[in-house]
Amino acid sequence: MKFDTPAGQNPIDQLKVVGRPTSRVDGPRKTTGTAPYAYERHNVAPNQAYGYILGAGVAKGRIVRMDISEAKAAPGVVAVVTTLDFPAPLPLGLANIAHLFGGAEVAHYHQAIAVVVAETFEQARAASTLIHTEYARAPGKFDLAKEAPDAPLAGGSRGGGSGTPPIDRIGDFAGAFAVAPVKIDRTYTTPGESHAMMEPFATIAAWEGDKLTLWTSNQMIAWSKSSLAKILSVRPENIRLDSPFIGGGFGGKLFVRADAVCAALAAKTARRPVKIAMQRPLMINNATHRPATIQRVQLGANQDGRLTAIAHASTSGNLPDGEPETAVSQTKLFYAAPNRETYMKLARMDLPEGNAMRAPGEAPGLMALEMAMDELAEALNMDPVELRVVNDTQFDPEKPNRPFSERHFVECLRTGAEKFGWSRRNPKPGLVRDGKWLVGMGMAGGFRNNILTKSAARIRLEKGGRLTVETDMTDIGTGTYTILAQTAAEMMGVGLDAVTVVLGDSDFPASAGSGGQWGANNSTAGLYAACLKLREAIAQRLGFNPTDTIFSDGKVTAGGHSVPLADAARGGALVGEDGFDPTDMSKRWQQSTFAAHFVEVAVDSYTGETRIRRMLAVCDAGRILNPKAARSQVIGAMTMGAGAALMEELAVDTRFGLFINHDLAGYEVPVHADIPHQDVIFLDHPDDKSSPMKAKGVGELGLCGVGAAIANAIYNATGVRVRDYPITLDKHLDKLPAIA
């Protein structure tokens, strides 16, 4: 189905099922432990052996030799595969920057150099310690601050919808900034972050002749199937991936990782199925992370707060051939200013691979931009909400002929300010106390692009009237099973209990996949198109005119005649298969989502400890397909934003080139005690230029801006501005107001 004009009235607009808060249809399986994740699929292949990946002990250099004799002779060992078994690195898959296996060169710490296969996990792990590896260590570049001054300009994309050329200039930024009555020029830093998903990278691999099946944990099935075909030199039609349940991904599972490649290689060598779950230290050092940034924001404004000049520069680091963290992408679109400059610099470094993590680009970019806006508001003696209101725009600032499809950012701001009680905020920082606590409020804008992409699905009407949906779309904990079931139920006029959804199998039609907050809108639009095909087939079989046939309450009605839906399948099952093709809609209209985040914090005046007291997000993201699941997505993202603001940081050992806090004891993430009650408000503005569902993404929008809102609240509480995330107590303790 080509989507080339705004959606008109359609069956989804009935909103009998879609748009209603609906409990997860997979919830009972998740809560009873009967929804198996990749490593737990013990029955998919007989006689599974256990694989254990050995990571490189140096960050850069070359393997001189490996002695595996002791490992091979260890109890229970079935096979040992080493990187030296391959004379050169295996080919790169889609969006992989680091080679996942093969050859003697070591490009980063914990690069996979061997996989040991044994009868038990413990035997494989023990045997891996018996592999003796001799390295020729080479000097590496591990310190972003040291490399940043000489980093060259670079354009690129993080793979999650953010992208930008090396440098963009509109108007005369330098001239306008020089004469601006009020201006700020600030530098901010964000550290590297880990996805830290609960389910590890995990795969079970089995060969049957030249055909390979992988039961794996992966967000993008079609991408990964083609990548594995390339990496392993296997014909795509001979590879099948199956990933029905995923325990979190956040972008880390967008692309093939070493667990899948090593499991496939090990299974071929061992001549039996092999299962691998990547250990936590390798998840952090072997896989991907959000790169650290150094960002400079310059804002010039008139006394009324209207921006006359805006510039945003970001420097990040990555392996050779890697991409920058596109932290300037939202600045190109968020606020109006006639004179603009954005650019990025990329330092070539030897740390593990930097790649997509939830809201790549915008998440760290807004941590800087929205703190800078708060600083500008103070310089103007202006309310931070009003500053954003006066700089709102309904058009792409760099392409004035391209309007936003729907933009209700001002409504987000006004609604949030009223609901949160923003008018009670004392604009003078450091003056509000509650016993030993310094109390403050902060806010920030949220922005994330809405990405349109092709997505296909198949729906079948079985004998008895049951509907089965099939697509390779994945559910990474976001509620995909439920919104697809809602879409099918709405389109076919049945209840949710009449729909079965089967996901994550590469034998099914290729979907948008899960990532970049594009999954929900595009995958449901693809199923919408397939349902239209099925509705047409049903009408034709029943002898009805397809154009005036109504599907409702389990019946098919046309021309005053009504029959049960199940009657259409008496002559055999009927199938509808089609896909959503958004054509050039995102070029004709700028497609974005917006939010306003409000936070109240308390800072202990004795210890400097920060406690979040209240959080509110007001989101403008088109039609909300399932408000219950969407709220869960947003509060989860808000929690991730709290982690980024207050505790998350990959600590780099700049001598040896590794993240030293490579487990969940050292890499801190928020726990229940860190998070207060969170409120979420969704504005009701269906976007008819986004899809026939009139929806947009929301899962990453909930993260964008939260970090800055927390940082701004801490400043309002203490009067101490910390521009280097995370805002840990050591960064402001000695500057806190005197204790009364």
pLDDT band at 155 (very low <50, low <70, confident <90, very high): confident
Task: Answer yes or no: do 566 and 592 share one domain.
Answer: no
Asked whether residue 654 is assigned to any structural domain, the reply reads yes
Q: pLDDT tens across 207-230, in order?
A: 999 999 999 999 999 999 999 999
Q: Given the structure tokens 């972050």, which residue do they identify?
A: 193
E runs forming strands in 492-560: 499-503, 550-552, 555-558
pLDDT band at 157 (very low <50, low <70, confident <90, very high): low
Q: Given the structure tokens 């801006």, which residue do they identify?
A: 705
Angle between helices 362-380 and 706-718 (to 10 degrees): 40
Task: Answer yes or no: do 115 and 134 share one domain.
Answer: yes
Q: Across residues 429-436, what is the average pLDDT? A: 97
Q: Across residues 59-75, what is the average pLDDT? A: 98
pLDDT of residue 159 exceeding 60:
no
Q: Across residues 320-335, what is the average pLDDT? A: 96
Structural domains of the chain, count: 3
Asked whether residue 122 is assigned to any structural domain, the reply reads yes
Q: pLDDT tens across 477-490, in order?
A: 999 999 999 999 99
CA distance 655 to 139: 9
pLDDT of residue 546 exceeding 80:
yes
Q: pLDDT tens across 708-732, in order?
A: 999 999 999 999 999 999 999 999 9
Q: What is the DSSP string of 518-535?
A: -HHHHHHHHHHHHHHHHH
Residue 386: in which H helix or E strand, if any? helix 384-390
Q: Across residues 374-398, what is the average pLDDT? A: 98
CA distance 589 to 585: 6
Q: Which domain holds residue 357?
A: 172-192+290-450+588-735
Q: Across residues 437-460, what is the average pLDDT? A: 98
Q: How many CB atoms lie within 10 A of CB 327?
A: 33
CA distance 391 to 399: 16
Task: Answer yes or no: do 394 and 515 share one domain.
Answer: no
Q: Across residues 498-506, what is the average pLDDT? A: 98
Task: Answer yes or no: do 435 and 345 share one domain.
Answer: yes
Task: Answer yes or no: do 409 and 508 share one domain.
Answer: no
Domain final residue, candidates 517, 551, 581: 581
Task: Answer yes or no: do 273 and 362 share one domain.
Answer: no
Domain final residue, candidates 581, 609, 624: 581
Nearest to 340 by CA among 396, 413, 386, 378: 396
The total number of residues written for the chain in this structure: 740
Asked if 716 contacts 429 with a C-beta cutoff of 8 angstroms, the reply is: yes
CATH code, 57: 3.30.365.10
Active site residue 700: yes
Tell me how far CA of residue 566 lies from CA of 493, 498, 535, 553, in angstroms: 12, 11, 13, 12
* 504 SS3 class: coil
Asked whether residue 157 is assigned to any structural domain, the reply reads no
- Pairing type for strands 239-242 and 211-216 reads parallel
Q: pLDDT tens across 99-139, in order?
A: 999 999 999 999 999 999 999 999 999 999 999 999 999 99
Nearest to 624 by CA among 553, 555, 680: 680
Q: Across residues 565-584, what is the average pLDDT? A: 97
Angle between helices 627-646 and 362-380 (to 10 degrees): 70
Largest CA distance in the chain: 84
Q: Which two tokens stand for residue 319?
A: 């392996």
pLDDT of residue 71 exceeding 70:
yes
Residue 221, pLDDT score: 98
Q: Which two tokens stand for residue 724?
A: 């280097």
| Strand ordering across the sheet containing 77-82 | 77-82, 112-118, 49-55, 274-277, 202-208, 211-216, 239-242
Q: Across residues 525-531, what is the average pLDDT? A: 98
Task: Answer yes or no: do 259 and 112 share one domain.
Answer: yes
Task: Answer yes or no: do 499 and 600 share one domain.
Answer: no
Query: Taken in order 657, 662, 666, 671, is the CA torsion positive or negative?
Result: positive
Torsion of CA 54, 241, 517, 329, to 10 degrees: 60
Q: pLDDT tens across 610-620, in order?
A: 999 999 999 99
- Residue at 357: amino acid letter: M
Task: Answer yes or no: do 339 and 234 share one domain.
Answer: no
Residue 161, pLDDT score: 59
Q: What is the distance of C-alpha 603 from the center of its chain? A: 30
Q: Across residues 470-478, what is the average pLDDT? A: 97
CA distance 408 to 417: 14
Domain final residue, candidates 555, 581, 607: 581
Q: What is the distance of C-alpha 345 from the center of its chain? A: 23
How far the first Cα of the chain sits from its last, in Å, is 68
* 180 SS3 class: coil
Residue 166, pLDDT score: 76
Q: pLDDT tens across 3-45, in order?
A: 999 999 999 999 999 999 999 999 999 999 999 999 999 999 9
Helices (H), 195-344: 221-232, 258-270, 280-285
Task: Answer yes or no: do 513 and 445 share one domain.
Answer: no
Nearest to 689 by CA among 439, 498, 407, 472: 407
Q: Express as a percent the part of the chain with pLDDT over 90.
A: 97
CA distance 410 to 413: 5
pLDDT of residue 399 exceeding 90:
yes
pLDDT of residue 504 exceeding 60:
yes
pLDDT of residue 74 exceeding 60:
yes
Q: How many CB atoms lie within 10 A of CB 559?
A: 10
Nearest to 191 by CA among 317, 330, 86, 292: 292
pLDDT band at 550 (very low <50, low <70, confident <90, very high): very high
- Cβ-count burial 627-663 (b if 16+ within 10 Å, e if not): eebbbbbbbbbbbbbbbbbbbbbbebeeeebbbebbe
Q: Which two tokens stand for residue 622?
A: 């088109």
Q: Given the structure tokens 């694989």, which residue do they identify?
A: 51
Averaged pLDDT score across all residues of the chain: 97
CA distance 474 to 458: 15
Q: pLDDT tens across 130-154, in order?
A: 999 999 999 999 999 999 999 999 9
Q: Across residues 518-534, what is the average pLDDT? A: 98
Nearest to 40 by CA among 261, 197, 199, 198: 199
Asked whether residue 124 is assigned to any structural domain, the reply reads yes
pLDDT band at 197 (very low <50, low <70, confident <90, very high): very high
The residue from 341, 600, 649, 700 that is catalytic is 700
Q: Across residues 685-704, what is the average pLDDT? A: 97
Task: Answer yes or no: do 295 and 444 share one domain.
Answer: yes
Asked whether residue 149 is assigned to any structural domain, the reply reads no
Asked whether residue 686 is assigned to any structural domain, the reply reads yes
Asked if 380 contacts 303 with a C-beta cutoff of 8 angstroms, the reply is: yes
pLDDT band at 164 (very low <50, low <70, confident <90, very high): low
Burial (0-12, 13-18, 19+ Cβ within 10 Å), 282: buried
State the Cα angle at 305 between 312 and 718, rounded to 5°: 75
Residue 558, pLDDT score: 96
Q: Across residues 683-703, what is the average pLDDT? A: 97
Query: Taken in order 231, 157, 361, 478, is the CA torsion positive or negative?
Result: negative
CA distance 457 to 593: 25
DSSP 582: -
Residue 684: φ, ψ to 5°: -105, 85
Residue 433: φ, ψ to 5°: -125, 150
Task: Answer yes or no: do 576 and 626 share one domain.
Answer: no
Asked whether residue 567 is assigned to any structural domain, the reply reads yes
pLDDT of residue 561 exceeding 90:
yes
Q: Across residues 260-283, what is the average pLDDT? A: 97
pLDDT band at 260 (very low <50, low <70, confident <90, very high): very high
- Residue at 238: amino acid letter: N
Asked if 715 contacts 440 with a C-beta cutoff of 8 angstroms, the reply is: yes
Torsion of CA 516, 520, 521, 527, to 10 degrees: 130
Asked whether residue 154 is assigned to any structural domain, the reply reads no
